[in-house]
Amino acid sequence: MPENAHPSIINLDNTQEYKPRNTIHHPPGTTIAFETKAGPIYHIPLNLLSTTLILDKDIPDFIRHATRNQRARKRFTTPLIWNSRTISSFLGKPDSAFCCCANQKPCIHYLLEKPSFERGHYPLHEIMREHADYQKIPQAFGPFSGHLAPLTISLPKIAYLLLLDAFNGPDALQKMGDPEKFAMSILMTNRILPLTSDGFPITAKP
């Protein structure tokens, strides 16, 4: 790599350079995009062929309970925002993530933090940006920063929660433009439930 080249110019769209890793809970095709001091950044490809959306009726009772009022949503979202290492009864550890594109295809990049990593005051999203300048790469999908956490309970339509930093309020979907609404539908059809930064589930309308 040339000394002054930004790593995103070389690596972000070169999916053939991703190193495959055998993981149990990742969707098919998940690979490592980059290695960082905090842990590997995984590349999760998103399927554009699925059409099964997450409707409000698909939200399980335990998520409804966790997001039932302002105090509950605050208690629920704080561990997500801070990538807490304390795992809840139905969520795995959350990690910093970006919705973005690689080779013009939508994907999620998330940093699987090493248990031994000492954070200090260095945000994990900034570590991700050291390897790819997500804001400067032309995107048809995002980029949106957020926090991704797997469900530990098997559900037919939801495998992950993704708290998105840029959106808030119970009517977030109605306020979005068409590109953002399309992005939310891609997430839902890939069994990823988007959440606003203040804890409201984003679902498709029946």
> Taking Cα atoms as reference points, which of 61, 27, 52 lies closest to residue 201?
61
> What's the confidence (pLDDT) of residue 94?
92
- What radius of gyration, in Å, describes the C-alpha atoms of the chain? 16
Beta strands in the chain (DSSP E): 19-20, 31-36, 39-45, 95-102, 105-111, 144-150, 160-164, 192-195
> What's the confidence (pLDDT) of residue 74?
96
Domain ranges, ordered by start, for the chain: 7-195
CA dihedral 162, 149, 170, 187 (to 10 degrees): 30
Positions of the chain with pLDDT lower than 50, given as ranges: 1-24
> What's the confidence (pLDDT) of residue 10?
27
CB 68 within 8 A of CB 189: no
> What's the confidence (pLDDT) of residue 135?
67
CB 62 within 8 A of CB 90: yes
> What's the confidence (pLDDT) of residue 153?
87
CB 98 within 8 A of CB 146: yes
pTM of this structure: 0.84
CA distance 190 to 188: 5
CB 189 within 8 A of CB 182: no
DSSP readout, 29-49? T-EEEEEETTEEEEEEE--SS
> Taking Cα atoms as reference points, which of 123, 191, 187, 124 lies closest to residue 155?
191
CA distance 185 to 193: 10
Q: Each residue of 78-135: pLDDT tens digit?
A: 999 999 887 677 888 899 999 988 877 899 999 999 988 888 877 899 999 988 877 6
> What's the confidence (pLDDT) of residue 137?
56
